[in-house]
Amino acid sequence: MVRGAVLLLLWLAGAEMLREEQVERSGFCSWKCMKFVQMWPASFCVALGPRFDCVVPESADSWTIHGLWPSSVMNCCSCWHLFPSDLMDLPKQLAQHWPTFLNASNFKFWKEEWQKHGTCAGCMEALSSPSKYFGAALDLRTTYNIDRAFQRAGILPSCNHSYQLQTLREALVPILGKEHQLQCVTDGQARQILVQLKVSLFSNFSAGCLEEEARDFSPYRPCENQRRIFYFPPNQKNPRDPCP
């Protein structure tokens, strides 16, 4: 009986420690790598469910930012709210390079990204405020410039030409390194379509951080080697089916 109670107490203490450890682990500074995620606006709405409105602005004719995500941590601090004034002079650039395509306010998108991921980034001095975090993502877009890498390799958006995964990767390796992932969706005509690109960074923003792939709940999947890949041009009038 007494032994049972002692065991129970030990077990409770252990559970408490475990819980603290988990809080610590889900907190600020446990992450080693972060994902810088860019998306191709022309393909964003192809996999979008019917209950969402889709609007791709005319200006979105280059790769845009989806987010900057410290790995294996999320929602680190619900008390750190984002206000428009926190972004200082960035909103114009953010609207151009980090827009939402959900017919909602851009600020709502930025706020969600901040809440989910930005609040976990702050243990790095270079990311320790909203303006630093969003500013860093804008800088990363310039460093890891997918538009330029593809243009240099002659890879252009097209409805009727598709590419080998190998060709796309070879164009990207010089700027992104090998640790990147191209993500695709399959459209109604069973075409594999490039939609997103993740590059894995160290906390000093260098590419090449190695980590285990976390579970991915998005409809995007790693592009398959065996099938050709379409890189569709933007079609504002028909963003859900850019190349009918």
Ligand X SMILES: *[C@@H]1O[C@H](CO)[C@@H](O)[C@H](O)[C@H]1NC(C)=O
> Binding residues for ligand X, per CB under 6 A?
53, 55, 103, 158-160, 202, 204, 206, 233
CB of 45 to ligand X, least distance (A): 10
CB of 167 to ligand X, least distance (A): 17
CA distances from 226 to 161, 186, 223 (A): 16, 14, 9
Give catalytic status of residue 117 as yes or no.
yes
Length of the chain: 244
Which among 113, 161, 180, 213 is annotated as catalytic? Answer: 113
Comparing CA positions, the residue from 156, 134, 136 lying closest to residue 146 is 156
Pairing type for strands 192-202 and 33-39 reads antiparallel
- Compare residues 33 and 87 and give the one whose CB is closer to ligand X: 33
DSSP class of residue 206 equals: -
- Compare residues 103 and 131 and give the one whose CB is closer to ligand X: 103
- Compare residues 90 and 192 and give the one whose CB is closer to ligand X: 192
Comparing CA positions, the residue from 233, 47, 55 lying closest to residue 158 is 233
- Compare residues 158 and 225 and give the one whose CB is closer to ligand X: 158
3-state helix, strand, coil in the chain (%, to 5): 40, 15, 45
Give residue number: closest CB to ligand X: 53
Distance CA 4, CA 9 (A): 9
Which among 21, 58, 66, 212 is annotated as catalytic? Answer: 66
CB of 83 to ligand X, least distance (A): 23
CB of 54 to ligand X, least distance (A): 6
Q: Which residues are catalytic?
A: 66, 113, 117
